[in-house]
Structure 1
Amino acid sequence: METPYQNHINKTDFDHVYEPAEDSFLLIDALEKDLPYLKAKKPTFCLEVGSGSGVVITAFGMAFPNSFCFCTDINFKACEMSLSTALQNKVLLDTINMDLVSCFINNKFDIVIFNPPYVVTEPAECGGCGIEASWAGGEKGREVTDRLLDIIPKILSPDGTFYLLLIKENIPLEVIQIMSKYGFKSETIITRQVRNEQQIVLKFHR
């Protein structure tokens, strides 16, 4: 998978939108590692929740030009940047400014991707719609993630796959147990130690 062209973005724009970092590129690496599986799936409808700069969903769209790609973000500036990144890389993308997937209930996506706000913070720091929404995760760094886990069974197709990035402090085993109760199997695609963070990308499927 190619890394999308990003030189169109002004550095000052990252005062308002999460700048692609090690976690963003780990997620792309995980998708690349799982490319044979994804190609066999031939996904049609693909969604990234919380797209930020759009680098991940654009990389996916570059690898799967026949897929219909969508992304959401609670930060309107992130939606604008995601669309710009997609256009610069000739990827067709629909962006929707919303909280998680509130408008997509009962829509069936083949692939859902989420790099959540995973930093452990005070619960009061959650709920914003600016750049803080990209990192403030509340208790266990999981308050936003857990909300999405409850919705995944409703928006994922029966044969769909959900990719989720977490860190050790998020207690990934608890997430695996939650998804197991919904009937999902789990796999660890990739792990990486980045300074003081142990990052992991999990794959869930029925």
Structure 2
Amino acid sequence: MIPTPCHRHVGPEGPFREVYEPAEDTFLLLDALEADAEELRRGRCTDINPLAGLCTVETAIRNNVDIQPIITDLITGLLPRLHGKVDLLLFNPPYVVTPSAEIQSHGIAAAWAGGKNGREVMDRFIPLVPDLLSAKGLFYIVTIQENNPAFSFIEHYYNLSFLTADEIIQILQKCGLKGTKVLYRQAGRENLSILKFCKS
């Protein structure tokens, strides 16, 4: 069993109060990664919130891990050089239903503001995944049933209004990705799932 990373420095008090505190979705994603620990390697992570990048460095230092956060909107600052080169891609997207204007934040609201149906950020990112992953790349995403975890590009293309996690997996197979639901957990009102994809 891998211990939960030290994260006491994140929260409502102190220098990282503008960074989203780890919650049930974070710990569910950690559980999925722990199950696949032998397959995974250390790497870089991106965030739109500069303070979250500093917090990531502090968390890494406190847990004796070397990590290099990059401040960018999703992967904008890393294209096109990442095409076909990503071995591990983790996405815990903002999924709270908010006005679309809130997704423009670079502060703590960026951690939860998902825009219309809580999916605007996911909808921008998902189409990029097949081109980003290397031949052996893995992609993990947190989805939440309450926000109808379907993606509007899929809805538009296939004329669907709601997809379950299993249907998301089936549709993304048509994009060349093989997927499974690796974990599911109810956390309060939220029904969270971790989906895992690789190239077929």
- Compute the TM-score of the two structures, normalised by the length of structure 1: 0.79
Aligned to 1:203: 196
Identity of aligned residues (%): 45
Q: Secondary structure at the match of 1:103?
A: helix
Aligned to 2:23: 21
Counterpart amino acid of residue 14 in structure 2: T
- Stretches of structure 2 that go unaligned for 5 or more consecutive residues are 150-163
Q: Count residues with an aligned counterpart.
A: 178
Are residues 1:158 and 2:132 paired? no
When residues 100 and 178 of structure 1 are mapped into structure 2, their CA distance, relative to the original with a 3 A threshold, is: farther
Aligned to 2:156: none
Counterpart amino acid of residue 70 in structure 1: R
- Compute the TM-score of the two structures, normalised by the length of structure 2: 0.81
Q: Larger radius of gyration, structure 1 or 2? A: 2
Equivalences for residues 22-171 of structure 1 within 5 A: 22-35=24-37, 39=38, 41=39, 43=40, 67-105=41-79, 106-107=81-82, 108-171=85-148
* Further displaced range: 10-19 or 186-195: 10-19
Deviation at 1:17, TM superposition (A): 0.6
Is the contact made by 1:149 and 1:179 (CA closer than 8 Å) also made in structure 2? no
Listed one character per residue, the Cα deviations across residues 32-52 of structure 1 (whole Å, up to 9, x for unaligned) are 2334xxx2x4x4xxxxxxxxx
Are residues 1:190 and 2:183 paired? yes
- Stretches of structure 1 that go unaligned for 5 or more consecutive residues are 44-66
When residues 68 and 190 of structure 1 are mapped into structure 2, their CA distance, relative to the original with a 3 A threshold, is: closer
Listed one character per residue, the Cα deviations across residues 44-67 of structure 1 (whole Å, up to 9, x for unaligned) are xxxxxxxxxxxxxxxxxxxxxxx3
In 2, Cα distance between equivalents of 1:161 and 1:131: 27
Is the contact made by 1:141 and 1:169 (CA closer than 8 Å) also made in structure 2? no
Deviation at 1:127, TM superposition (A): 1.4
Q: Secondary structure at the match of 2:104?
A: coil
When residues 139 and 163 of structure 1 are mapped into structure 2, their CA distance, relative to the original with a 3 A threshold, is: same
In 2, Cα distance between equivalents of 1:160 and 1:92: 21
Counterpart amino acid of residue 182 in structure 1: C
In 1, Cα distance between equivalents of 2:15 and 2:189: 26
